Amino acid sequence: MIYLDHAATTPLRAEVLEAMLPYLTGEFGNPSSAHSMGRRARAGLDEAHERVASRLGAEPREVVFTSGGTEANNLAIKGAAWAGKARGHRLVTTPIEHHAVGHTMRYLEKFGFEVVEVGVDRYGRVDPDELDAAITDKTTLVSVMLGNNEVGTIQPIEEIAERVHAHKGVLLHVDAVQAAPYVDLDVGRLGADLVAIAAHKFEGPKGVGALWVRHGTHILAQQQGGTQERHRRAGTENVAGAIGLAAAYDLACGERPETNRRLKKQRERLTAAVLTVEGTEATGHPARRLPGILSLIARDTDGSSVALGLDLEGICCSVGSACTTGSTEVSHVLSAMGYPPDEARGALRLSLGRTTTDAEIDTACEVAPRVIASMRLGSAALAADPLGQGVGSAS
């Protein structure tokens, strides 16, 4: 199989598993225990905080380990919204956020919060001026993702941060889950107050993520219990997971320049091959995008059927976010970008990763256009003869 769904998840890297193994076997102590085994577990967890913070240009105390990107986003949004409720109830975001953000915003509406979505252009980019205009004296939080998980578009976060912080007391949350392996998350440069990442997007283990919380930023914990993670996330820590995240992120950051260069070349090659098929169009920003995501529309097709056809040919890909697989609705991201439902149904996402080889791209460049063209031909034939009687059949 050729795996071209790295935006959904990535394989666990051997070096990461090796770093985790001691804490899955002999060093299984609870980091809150005072005895020697607990202290060794605590030392490993403290080191994980330090390694992640170092790559973020942050302090170890600002890093909160979570069960993944979804929890990190929930903790950031709900935690900041409830902490700021006395000052205001207005939350500003965009219509192309991951459901971990969008559905959390919808949930908060049930408790009296006002959610305002600022639209995006055809490439999926939000206008900082429009975002600025949506902020009022009742606004407490703005949430904008860094790199879109479906179309790959990168937002102008640094400019957005300047606009947001021109309004006293307003916080900026950034979902950087998809972007973390490919974009430098130096938090001083980004200008955000809350940044979420997830280990399985950069060859770390599933079930662990991290939320960076700028020192001095007040959020309310969303689960109660012990005093772990400086009172911000109760529950016995996933020590092995945190160590795996730190090891994987360290490797991804160190290899980022070379990985990005190679993935961009591979993606451009695959894009050129796929766009030779009539009726196809690349989606997302042509330049300001994540290096490994090729998103496209194949008109007069069903993206799910194309993905299944590619799977039968040995290529794993998706129609968009893995979190919406099985949904009958078209992509909310493409809809927000202005694509009508009949076109959005032909969405396809081919996402590359560090382990993608040039030989795999060679094969994909041959197989993907052939499968897409075949699906379009089949759809055209069905439209011309919906009852399957044959064009020249007698009546």
For the ranges 74-78, 94-98, 233-237, 379-383, the lowest mean pLDDT is seen at: 379-383
Does the pLDDT of residue 149 top 80, yes or no?
A: yes
Q: How confident is the model at residue 394 (pLDDT cuts 50, 70, 90)?
A: very low
What residue spans define the domains of the chain?
Answer: 13-251, 257-380
- pLDDT tens track for 150-190: 999 999 999 999 999 999 999 999 999 999 999 999 999 99
**In the CATH hierarchy, which fold is given to the domain comprising 13-251?**
Aspartate Aminotransferase; domain 2 (3.40.640)
Helix-strand-coil split of the chain, %, nearest 5 = 45, 15, 40
> With contact defined as beta carbons under 8 Å apart, do 349 and 320 qualify?
yes
Q: Is the pLDDT of residue 395 over 50?
A: no
Q: Give the architecture (CATH level 2) of 257-380.
A: Alpha-Beta Complex (3.90)
CB 144 within 8 A of CB 53: no
> What angle do helix axes 69-83 and 99-109 make, rounded to 10 degrees?
30
What is the average pLDDT value for the chain, to the nearest integer?
94
Mean predicted confidence (pLDDT) in 287-303: 97
Q: Are strands 315-316 and 2-3 parallel, antiparallel or unpaired?
A: parallel
pLDDT at residue 377, as a whole number: 77
pLDDT at 324 over 90: no
Q: What percent of the chain has pLDDT over 70?
A: 93
The residues with which 196 forms a beta bridge, in sequence order, are 175, 211
Q: Is residue 316 annotated as part of the catalytic site, yes or no?
A: no
- Classify residue 362 by burial, with Cβ atoms within 10 Å: 0-12, 13-18, 19+: middle
Half-sphere exposure of 118 (CA within 13 A, CB side): 21
CA 21 to chain centre: 27
Give per-residue burial for 366-393: e unless 16+ CB within 10 Å, then b.
ebbbebbbebbeebeeeeeeeeeeeeee
Confidence bin at 391 (pLDDT 50/70/90): very low
> Which among 165, 170, 195 has a CA at the least distance from the CA of 180?
195
Count H helices and E strands in the chain, helices first. Answer: 13, 12
- Rounded CA gap, 210 and 197, in Å? 5
Q: Which residue has the tokens 């002999």?
A: 26
Q: How far is CA 38 from the centre of its chain?
A: 34
Least confident of 158-167, 286-295, 325-334: 325-334
Q: How far apart are CA 201 and CA 6, in angstroms?
A: 7
Are 158 and 187 a contacting pair, CB within 8 Å? no
Element (H, E) at 295: strand 293-298
Catalytic residue among 316, 317, 323, 365, which? 323
Average pLDDT of span 104-127: 98
pTM of the model: 0.94
Task: Give tens-digit pLDDT for 50-83.
Answer: 999 999 999 999 999 999 999 999 999 999 999 9
